[in-house]
Structure 1
Amino acid sequence: MKKILNYVFLMVGICLGCFACDRNTIESKAVMEENKKIVVYQVFTRLFGNTNSTNKPWGTMEENGIGKFSDFTDLALQEIKDLGVTHIWFTGIPHHAVIRDYTSYGISNDDPDVVKGRAGSPYAVKDYYQVNPDLADNPAKRMEEFEALIKRTHQNGLKLIIDIVPNHIARNYEGKNNPEGIFDFGAQDDTSVEYSKNNNFYYILGESFKVPKPNNEYKPLGGEEHPLSDGSFDENPAKWTGNGSRKSQPDFNDWYETVKINYGIKPDGSKDFPELQPHFMEADYKEHHDFWQDKDVPDSWKKFKDIALFWIKKGVDGFRFDMAEMVPVEFWSYMNSAIKMEKSDAFLLAEIYNPREYRNYIHLGKMDYLYDKVELYDTLKNIMQGRGSTDNLIQIQQGLSDIGQHMLHFLENHDEQRIASPEFVGRAEIAKPAAVLSATIDQAPMMIYFGQEVGEPGAEEAGFGSPSRTSIFDYIGVPHHQRWMNNGKFDGGQLSDAEKSLRDFYKKLLNFTISSPALAGNYAEIHAFNRENTEWYNDKVFSYVRWSQDQKLIIITNFDKNDSFGFELQIPASIITAWSLKDGDYELEEKLYGNVNAKLYVDQGQAKVRVDLDPLESWILQVR
């Protein structure tokens, strides 16, 4: 009885998968016409060009070095593009709090008591109308240098996105570069009340801010003496902390270096702005934009809309929005529709971790893409770590079938552990099957984090925080990436054979991804069918088909790092019918490395192909 129920469940999954691919095909017509998927390369800007390998904990810029805008030369950008990249996400561009003396440039010093690390968090922005002075060869010309990077990026055939962090800003925010008529955050606030609709912050009346008590004997700057490092920071009245803490002395694990922005959500959770009616789920950005034209919205909404449009007019192609779900969806409708009115093809990506809110932020908030962290990434991580089954991938794709093209896939980013770190799996090659699946399973964009393609393990003790994630808080070198960079030659001249092989894998995979018409077309999983009907086929492998009018693909991955698997992979009759294949033998071309001899045998509408997968091997088979 159990086997029969499993069979029914798996067969229903196949049907839903085929139905979902039809819906996705209709909704992704524009993508199919372009015949190109998006591949995002996230780069931590201040780390990319750094050639210094000292890596002293809490080291200064002089000791540990730093990368600059100018390190992104035409050669560097072309090498990134040749990897198979369409968009670069330059992380850490807006001017954020940093422990370095720039007072000669009219910039105030930041207090180590409310800065994480020496180089500072890129998510504690200090001035939204300027860029990080650390990144410029001449800090006085820092904006001009970034504008030159925008131009250089476009000239090399790439689009670029930067971060906007609307939920919180640095405690020491100073908008010294505001355009004419733009007031600074909090400049017009009524600080005698906890909340007012047009206040930019929430206030803790009658209390001053207190620096949190450190954990594990933590000391700012590793204990180095600094004139401002005295365990205090002047803020009266205290403001709510960025993660929502309402304590005047937040916990050390709170986002204590930032303050929460008020978007018209009262302290009791009620909304002080118009809500969108259900029919706006189907409305386009123009209708959303029209809706807000005569509405009285909170002041913070206007400030962040102005910030976004400022950067769009500079030539930025889009944004990654930090912790977007901590900001009301109505604000996103207001701002994103304004961005789209200015630049209809702007790339809008949201960091979202609540699957129940996915559709609201896509349809009401007018986001293009959301992090696919909680479902696909977390499931693949469990599989790579030997704690999960590929059977779980079926229901994920079914559950996201109506919005799958909006879910950005990744295996690394600045918040996640490096794949090669011992805390993750300790070996970069273990991610190969997951990379193939993430890049090819649907129409959604794929993202990789700089250094991922050469197996960077994030092993450095940089200062604030701990290894397994390349530090975003301190000046540090990135060793495996530096070996690829090869002192500015960007030719991989110092890489080991294994690192070269890994990068070659990503290069072949990503270039295939952006050129394959089938990957912008239909999807159906065949895993369930083979689990029920194919001997030796198990939950360490996963298989599916992708197709368009001009290309038919069979994709199968082996997640097992030790065992090979051989079996007769079966293709359901429904797929053969959809592909209009007649009985006979069909040559198959393997698209990753082309070293597989395989044939598809079709007999009376049934089809099979002999598969022999080595550990961690994937085949992308194209029907000739």
Structure 2
Amino acid sequence: MKRCLQLLILLVLLVSFNPYHASANVDTTMQDEAVYMIMVDRFNNGDTSNDKDANLDDPYAYHGGDFKGIMDKLDYIKEMGFTAIWLTPIFENTPKGYHGYWTKDYYKTNEYFGTMEEFKALVQEAHERDLKIILDFVVNHVGPNHEWLNDPSKEEWFHPNQPISNWNDQAEVENGWLYDLPDLNQSNPEVAAYLIEAAKWWIKETDIDGYRLDTVKHVPKEYWFDFSSAIKAEKENFYLIGEVWHDNPNVIAEYEETGIDGFFDFSQNDSLRTAFEKSNQSLGWLFSNVERNEKLFNRSNFLGQFIDNHDMTRFSNLVLNQKEEPKSQLKKSLTYLYTAPGIPIIYYGTEIAMDGGNDPDNRRMMQFDSENNLVDYISKLGSLRTEHLSLTRGKMEVLHEDEGIAIYSRVYEEETIVVAINNTSEQQRVVLEGKLENGKRLMSLLSDSVIKSNGNQYTINIESGQSEIYELTEKADTNWLFIVLSSAVLGSFILILTLGIREVKKRSVF
């Protein structure tokens, strides 16, 4: 009986073993992450005692979000399949700095958000759920009317108070006061050392996992090299992702030499918003951008891909202005984000198709009781991205693209995933001939549909506005290994059951 039971367990493990997915146990890198972005003040109010003068009716005032509120929603974030959380700056800010980008003290938490002990607890709770914490870090400027401006010993800490008038002059871009914010002089050794030591201190004190670096192009490349080297030496596998807000990807690529791991892909963001804000738009630029990125960047898979963020009109708002349905258009754009090369970065509220115009309307308080949500869909996409390494490391190939209908594959080792997105207002039928391996089938990972090959052809029918994700697998009638092992498991079960019945009968006799 004992030996039979051991054999049964072994056979069950063999049957459940999938060689295509076994490599999912490899060490993860930045390209394997899926990031949920939170504006701390606008996410969830978990502790009303720190609200002070918060006012939900004033879009420029604090609204009450805090560390406790985020901690209360960690399971919510984890269950959607996210592996990392990017938090807007949490440091003490000058008055009205609800967004966090007006730093007052680099060594204190914002009292509206909670204490240092509460933030440490948040990091610990996140780590227990295998969630990384990425902090927004600003080295370009401090908050308006900062006390350092009145300190004679820090007179050389700032560039002269001049606005940026010529955005093509890099010296102006780096030295001018962005939005009239006091511009720090990183060429001053004291400033350079202060900022690096502060960044290292937060790593040592709280064990965070990465920094999102704000306004990178406004700081000299030489400084970023020193900053990156020092930070990377502080903690192994610490992530640095930089915001170089520029439409020209060549400009962004120049910053790879600084040691920053990845960057936000603003060029692709523009293409994504244009392609999916309404139906019947070509998706061709999305694939052209991927090809360009592979040639231009050494780490193109480390590029952050996003449909919107805290500095731009929400995607749902663009869709509504086109008289389209946000949930449908979001589903298609999210399908692309999760299955194309790069790191998907999802702005809080996207999962409920949150509306919002220009800043600060795009920073509304999160509503968790919304019925118009895509939580289940995002959760499914997150699971697929975790289970299939081809979606994070695979080579992309466009199999078909024609005015809004696109089919592409991601291939890694022995695994092939095929993605179909129909951004047209009609059902589409596409015959793929000679594009995929003969004699197999496409099994949907989102529904129960199966597409069998007809020679070297695969016919994909997809409804208007729908997306599908398939895995290329062996035909069921040729999977002899599965049949043999399944039969063995069934036979062993019957044998164990029979022996068990006999044993019971023997005991009942005596």
TM class by smaller structure: 0.7 to 0.9
Do 1:588 and 1:621's aligned partners in 2 also have CA atoms closer than 8 Å?
yes
Equivalent residue in structure 1 for 2:334, among 426, 435, 439? 435
Cα deviation, residue 587, structure 1: 2.6
Identity level (%): 22
Equivalent residue in structure 1 for 2:189, among 298, 305, 311? 298
Alpha-carbon spacing, 1:125–1:542, altered in 2? closer, same or farther (3 Å): same
SS of the equivalent of 1:595 reads: coil
| C-alpha RMSD of the superposition | 3.1
Equivalent residue in structure 2 for 1:506, among 369, 374, 378? 378
The CA distance in 2 between the partners of 1:341 and 1:186, in whole Å, is 32
Cα deviation, residue 569, structure 1: 2.7
Cα deviation, residue 388, structure 1: 4.9
Q: Provide the residue aligned with 2:489 in structure 1.
A: none
Equivalent residue in structure 2 for 1:525, among 397, 417, 430? 397
Paired AA for residue 154 in structure 1:
H
The CA distance in 1 between the partners of 2:306 and 2:59, in whole Å, is 29
Higher helix share: 2
Cα deviation, residue 60, structure 1: 6.2
SS of the equivalent of 1:332 reads: helix
Cα deviation, residue 121, structure 1: 3.7
Aligned length: 427
Cα deviation, residue 263, structure 1: 2.5
Paired AA for residue 433 in structure 2:
Q
Cα deviation, residue 570, structure 1: 3.4
Alpha-carbon spacing, 1:361–1:187, altered in 2? closer, same or farther (3 Å): farther
Q: Provide the residue aligned with 1:79 in structure 2.
A: 76
Alpha-carbon spacing, 1:186–1:571, altered in 2? closer, same or farther (3 Å): farther
> TM-score w.r.t. structure 1 length?
0.63
Unaligned runs of 5+ in 1: 1-28, 100-118, 137-141, 176-183, 192-198, 211-239, 247-253, 265-296, 472-476, 484-494, 532-537
- What pairs with 1:405-420 in structure 2 (closer than 5 Å)? 405-420=301-316
Alpha-carbon spacing, 1:89–1:31, altered in 2? closer, same or farther (3 Å): farther
The CA distance in 1 between the partners of 2:393 and 2:302, in whole Å, is 14
Alpha-carbon spacing, 1:482–1:244, altered in 2? closer, same or farther (3 Å): farther
SS of the equivalent of 1:262 reads: coil
Do 1:242 and 1:261's aligned partners in 2 also have CA atoms closer than 8 Å?
no
Cα deviation, residue 513, structure 1: 1.0
The CA distance in 2 between the partners of 1:520 and 1:59, in whole Å, is 38
Alpha-carbon spacing, 1:570–1:413, altered in 2? closer, same or farther (3 Å): farther
1:255 aligns with 2:179: yes
Equivalent residue in structure 1 for 2:368, among 482, 504, 507? 482
SS of the equivalent of 2:368 reads: helix
Structure number with greater CO (CA < 8 Å, separation at least 6) is: 1
Q: Provide the residue aligned with 2:403 in structure 1.
A: 539
Q: Provide the residue aligned with 1:282 in structure 2.
A: none
SS of the equivalent of 1:42 reads: strand
Cα deviation, residue 242, structure 1: 9.3
Do 1:32 and 1:521's aligned partners in 2 also have CA atoms closer than 8 Å?
no
Q: Provide the residue aligned with 2:57 in structure 1.
A: 56
1:202 aligns with 2:167: no
SS of the equivalent of 1:415 reads: coil
Cα deviation, residue 379, structure 1: 0.6
The CA distance in 2 between the partners of 1:120 and 1:245, in whole Å, is 24
Q: Provide the residue aligned with 1:449 in structure 2.
A: 347
The CA distance in 1 between the partners of 2:152 and 2:210, in whole Å, is 28
> TM-score w.r.t. structure 2 length?
0.76
Do 2:232 and 2:238's aligned partners in 1 also have CA atoms closer than 8 Å?
yes
Do 1:186 and 1:200's aligned partners in 2 also have CA atoms closer than 8 Å?
no
- What pairs with 1:210-249 in structure 2 (closer than 5 Å)? 245=176
Cα deviation, residue 456, structure 1: 1.1
Q: Provide the residue aligned with 1:249 in structure 2.
A: none
Do 1:94 and 1:163's aligned partners in 2 also have CA atoms closer than 8 Å?
no
SS of the equivalent of 2:379 reads: helix
SS of the equivalent of 2:112 reads: helix
Alpha-carbon spacing, 1:405–1:84, altered in 2? closer, same or farther (3 Å): same
Unaligned runs of 5+ in 2: 1-22, 49-53, 164-170, 474-510
Do 1:40 and 1:445's aligned partners in 2 also have CA atoms closer than 8 Å?
yes
- What pairs with 1:368-383 in structure 2 (closer than 5 Å)? 368-374=261-267, 376-383=268-275
The CA distance in 1 between the partners of 2:258 and 2:452, in whole Å, is 47
The CA distance in 1 between the partners of 2:150 and 2:241, in whole Å, is 24
Cα deviation, residue 594, structure 1: 2.4
Paired AA for residue 404 in structure 2:
K
The CA distance in 1 between the partners of 2:131 and 2:409, in whole Å, is 30
Q: Provide the residue aligned with 2:443 in structure 1.
A: 589
The CA distance in 2 between the partners of 1:55 and 1:300, in whole Å, is 37
Cα deviation, residue 58, structure 1: 5.3
Do 1:371 and 1:407's aligned partners in 2 also have CA atoms closer than 8 Å?
yes
Equivalent residue in structure 2 for 1:308, among 163, 175, 199? 199
